[in-house]
Chain A
Amino acid sequence: MHELSVCRALLDRALAVAATHEAASIGRLVVRIGPLSGVEPGLLREAFAIARTGTAAARAELVVQRSAVRVRCERCGAESECPPNRLICSHCGDASTQLTGGDELLLVSVELLAPAGDEAIAR
């Protein structure tokens, strides 16, 4: 279950952000995950619930944005959405495609909470 390693990396980064801004805790973490990143959102959630224990993110919510798999065809120029195991151009069938989305594994944002309570820290 490499989601736990991914989760630790996520928490390390988020906790560093919180420390830099002298926040008391983290309210919400937004991540973006593509089907070709190799990370399962469900497993990431489970891992997150374990890994956050005892940290400033102990009560943080994890929001997972899923991105779609998209390729752009170098031959006909078409851009199409496709299943993760069929990355050839759906218009002309050519295999010379570039992935334009779907392999993201991204920390999008961290919402910080001020020491006093639930009030978010302004930038």
Chain B
Amino acid sequence: MCDTCGCNVTSGNRHLLDRPPAEGAGAIEILEGLLSANDREAAHNRAHFDRHGVLAVNLMSAPGAGKTALLERTLDTLTGTLRVGVIEGDLETENDARRIRAHGVPAVQITTGSACHLDAHMIHDALHALPLTALDIVFIENVGNLVCPASFDLGQHANVVLLSVTEGDDKPAKYPVMFRAADLLLLSKIDLLPLMDDFAPARAETALRALANTAPVMPLSAKHDIGMAPWLDWLRTRRAACLPSQAD
């Protein structure tokens, strides 16, 4: 990085410096977010959710951290109290959506093909395929990936990031963009903790706090039904905050 102007001058782009400055030479100043089209669509999605008093939760994690397993356990527990819909992002298969539908819940599958994240346009198409008037919470299971999903606003109200104990407790330091965005950090597969003697929940939390993130950290195991209550309480509280009467 160049110390004088802060730009990244390399041998490949140094010649650009020799050209007259862009400003005043027919350069149109824009100063606009590169993802502003996505952000506008995301705001539109959020308006859809808000109008129906639906809480939209974006679930993000590395591949296989346990997002679908958590959803399955959550659906079974919420049945009869809160009505849930799910949008599933997956590279190739419809497996996750099938797993969710087996629990009697509407699920829309977005097959992203080569894309490694969901964007606001994909969510818009999907949410028009969901019966929003009959729902209280919509979960969006993002593509398993700690890099890309955090860059795209989908119109969600909250980001929930899963970090499984098999991944290492330094992940927040390695993927600050993702973990900085977390409104809640779930330490998943906590049943495996006795086997993972090098994963310290306190270290994971310290790495999160270093990002100036004050989000709650909750250890849980969907498979063995450990620590589900605080997560479900968090959901109910967030959902109550989305009700139209309180939002106005």
Interface, chain A (partner B; CB < 8 A): 1-2, 5-6, 9-10, 12-13, 17, 21, 27-28, 30-31, 36-39, 41, 61, 63-68, 71, 84-88, 95-97, 99, 105-114, 119-123
A86 touches B34 (CB 8 A): no
A17, A87, A105, A121: the one contacting B210 at CB < 8 Å is A87
B174 touches A85 (CB 8 A): yes
Asked if B248 is an interface residue, CB under 8 A from chain A, the answer is: no
Q: Which one of B1-9, B61-69, B232-240 is at the interface?
A: B1-9
Q: Quick one: closest B residue to A67, CB to CB?
A: B6
Q: Quick one: closest A residue to B12, CB to CB?
A: A45
Number of A-B residue pairs with CB-CB distance less than 8 Å in the complex they form:
139
Residues of chain B from 172 to 206 with CB closer than 8 A to chain A in the complex: 172-174, 176-178, 180
- Min CB distance A28 to B, Å, is 6
User: Which label, helix, strand, loop or mixed, suits the secondary structure of the A interface?
Assistant: mixed
B177 touches A36 (CB 8 A): yes
A2 touches B151 (CB 8 A): yes
Q: Quick one: closest B residue to A41, CB to CB?
A: B8
Q: Which one of B44-52, B76-84, B112-120, B157-165 is at the interface?
A: B112-120
A6, A21, A30, A95: the one contacting B22 at CB < 8 Å is A30
With A6-B34, A96-B212: A109-B29 Cβ-Cβ less than 8 Å: yes
A38 touches B34 (CB 8 A): no
| Residues of chain B contacted by A68 (CB below 8 angstroms) | 6
| Residues of chain A contacted by B151 (CB below 8 angstroms) | 2, 6, 37-39, 105
- Min CB distance A118 to B, Å, is 10
